[in-house]
Structure 1
Amino acid sequence: MSDEFLVKVRRAIGFDGLISIIIGAFILFLPGRSARVVAGMMSAALIAAGLFKLLSIFKKNSANGVTRLGHLITSVIYIVAGLFIFIDMQAAAISLILVVGILTGMAWLIEGIIQLTILSQMGTNKVWSILSAAISVIGGLSLLFSPLLGGVLVWSFFGITLLIIGIFKLIQYFTLKN
């Protein structure tokens, strides 16, 4: 590999590490604000998607009236949803954290149930599989029964993970040869 390529890889690792640390610290130390920022980004994306769909109605090569009507309805829904998020960012952030908690709980619960159903296909030592399945089921149920607290914990864990990854990438950046 050329030296120029290695320098670019090293810079990319350093930049990625720095961004990961900044975002991880933002999520960890300001979870409410970071959730509002993510909700705002989702809102902007919904409005932009709605506007692009709305513009596609006026293209001459659109298929037929039913397709145009579908694009019109979809674009209005996207724009209205984006505006509702912008109107109350606090409620949108709480909803985002609730969705994170509920979806994570569902994923863990399903994963635990699947592990229990394939237990008969495991080898002779099933202790770790049973333990892993039990932890997944208990964790999933706890998130489903308390999705807001669980969502905040998952959101904080995400911030911690980004922070740790960023630190390791910066260490890698500084230890790579110039």
Structure 2
Amino acid sequence: MSTGTAAGKSAVNGIRTAFGVGGLIALIVGILILVWPGKTAVVVTAIIAIYAIVAGLVYAGIGIFSKSLGGWGRVGNIVLGIVFIVAGIIAFMNLQTTKDWLFIFIAILVGIMWIVEGVVSLTTLGSSSSKGWTVFYAIISIIAGIVLLFSPIWGALVLWWLLGISLVVLGIIQIVRAFTFTGRAA
């Protein structure tokens, strides 16, 4: 067996493994979201809180130990680190409430983004080759955004379920890709 063929086979196996592992993780998380939506959301919130604390420690460490930063840069990093750490600790003090606020915040943010996206689509109408589809997309986007703004809790639940369903479907597809990937160009 030549070196090039062995390296190629190793690369294909690596890609197949990555597809399989990624697909399996997506499938498991998707199933967890669909079976235990509330508990899974609390775990995700806890992971975000852990990230905030770790990021805060990193920023504070940069501010304290950095030799290349000036005074304001060091102070800024330390303050940012403290804010992250405090936010992470507050999140851990009541994960359920933090989860609820996080979901509402994300739903409102997505609602605003959809409204802006619809308005931006309308501003490109003059240069659009498919004006009908552009107007249809803009109207649907604006309506969906308004619905999310006026009912963020309901919207957050729907988005969470759609995420779970998407992860299950994409996870299965990725696992199938892992078993069928050959490395040949399509």
Tell me if TM exceeds 0.5. Answer: yes
Distance in 1 separating the partners of 2:10 and 2:78: 50
Pick from 158, 163, 177 the counterpart of residue 158 of structure 1: 163
- The equivalent residue for 2:26 is 20
Displacement of 1:64 in angstroms is 4.3
Map 1:35-50 → 2, pairs under 5 A: 35-50=41-56
> 66-75 or 110-119, which moves further after superposition?
66-75
1:62–1:68 CA contact under 8 A, matched in 2: no
Map 1:32-71 → 2, pairs under 5 A: 32-59=38-65, 61=67, 63-71=69-77
Q: Which runs of 4+ in 1 moved over 4 A?
A: none
Distance in 1 separating the partners of 2:135 and 2:70: 56
Instruction: Give CA deviations for 1:50-93 in whole Å, capped at 9, x if unaligned.
Output: 22232334326254443333333222211111100000000111
Amino acid at match of 2:123: T
Structure 1: runs of 5 or more not aligned: none
Residues paired across the two proteins, number: 177
User: Percent same amino acid at aligned positions?
Assistant: 34
Structure 2 SS opposite 1:81: helix
2:62–2:78 CA contact under 8 A, matched in 1: no
Q: How large is the Cα RMSD of the aligned pairs? A: 2.0
> Does 2:77 match 1:80?
no
Distance 1:175 1:75, change over 3 A: closer
Pick from 120, 142, 156 the counterpart of residue 126 of structure 2: 120
Amino acid at match of 1:135: I
Displacement of 1:120 in angstroms is 2.3
Structure 2: runs of 5 or more not aligned: none
